[in-house]
């Protein structure tokens, strides 16, 4: 059968920070209608269970520092399944447009004649701020949010580009920076951000077992080292993080979810 005889569709879907009740309605419908589901390592079982029993489920890995399926292999797999007429969902943690390689995957699929839809999701920075009771922007404290990663291709530390993050009215949300905290602090302090700037590291943002590790820019590395997190961590640096309510974080989990715990 020629490749263009039957062509399915690929949806690049954000699973949010992990809790099933933080999925968007559109994401839920996409998962429920999937015939093939390619999911990242951080997508929990409760979200995967929403897919039909007959759905083909393939774990693609994609967790920092661990062996995972190569991006080229994922691209070819999505294409192969779409050419078989399947409704394909590529399920990514958080929002696919934030460090989710959505641009690469969309370009590849569209270049090969496959229809693509991107479904946004709740990103870890938003989930962490909501759960721990602080805003990402706040009048007089933070007039901008800077979303960044501390690493570049190959996992190396990004030595450049830290000047914008040194502005005291910037809330810095750092993804994939857990192992680079001291280097991040050194870069920001060197550029004038006070070591006393409030900061918080959040493990498993959006989950009932989320953990907030507050500190300052100067001592956050030591706090993380002592806490020894094993789950995904997002770093938030800025004056607004001083408003975090660590003890009350469990209250940010919906009553419906708390009843099921």
Which of these is catalytic: 1, 40, 76, 186? 40
Asked if residues 191 and 163 have their Cβ atoms less than 8 Å apart, the reply is yes
In the numeric block, which tokens belong to residue 168? 């005291």
Which of these is catalytic: 78, 92, 95, 176? 176
Whether 62 is catalytic: yes
Q: Quick one: which of 145, 218, 213 has its CA closest to 181?
A: 218
| Largest Cα–Cα separation, the chain | 65
As a whole number of angstroms, the distance between CA 184 and CA 178 comes to 10
As a whole number of angstroms, the distance between CA 181 and CA 112 comes to 40
φ, ψ (nearest 5 deg) of residue 92: -120, 145
Which of these is catalytic: 57, 62, 76, 95? 62
As a whole number of angstroms, the distance between CA 82 and CA 79 comes to 5
Q: Which residues have a catalytic role annotated?
A: 40, 62, 176
């Amino acid at each position: 059968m020629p490749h263009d005889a039957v062509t399915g569709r690929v949806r690049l879907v954000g699973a949010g920070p992990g809790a099933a009740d933080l999925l968007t309605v559109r994401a839920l419908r996409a998962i429920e209608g999937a015939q093939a589901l390619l999911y990242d390592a951080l997508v929990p079982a409760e979200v995967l269970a929403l897919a039909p029993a007959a759905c083909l489920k393939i774990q693609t890995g994609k967790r920092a520092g661990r062996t995972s399926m190569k991006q080229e292999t994922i691209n070819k797999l999505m294409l192969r399944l779409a050419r078989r007429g399947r409704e394909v969902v590529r399920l990514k943690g958080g929002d696919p447009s934030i460090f989710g390689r959505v641009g690469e995957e969309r370009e590849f699929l569209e270049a090969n004649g496959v229809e693509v839809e991107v479904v946004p999701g709740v990103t870890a920075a938003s989930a962490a701020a909501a759960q721990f009771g602080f805003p990402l922007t706040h009048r007089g404290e933070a007039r901008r949010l800077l979303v960044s990663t501390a690493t570049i291709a190959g996992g190396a530390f990004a030595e450049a580009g830290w000047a914008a993050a040194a502005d005291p009215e910037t809330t810095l949300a750092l993804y994939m920076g857990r192992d680079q905290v001291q280097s991040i602090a050194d870069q920001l302090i060197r550029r004038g951000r006070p070591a006393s700037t409030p900061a918080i590291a959040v493990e498993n943002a959006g989950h009932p077992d989320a953990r907030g590790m507050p500190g300052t820019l100067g001592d956050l590395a030591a706090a993380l080292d002592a806490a020894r997190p094993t789950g995904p961590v997002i770093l938030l640096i800025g004056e607004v993080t001083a408003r975090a309510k660590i003890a009350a974080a469990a209250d940010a989990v919906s009553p419906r979810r708390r009843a099921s715990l």
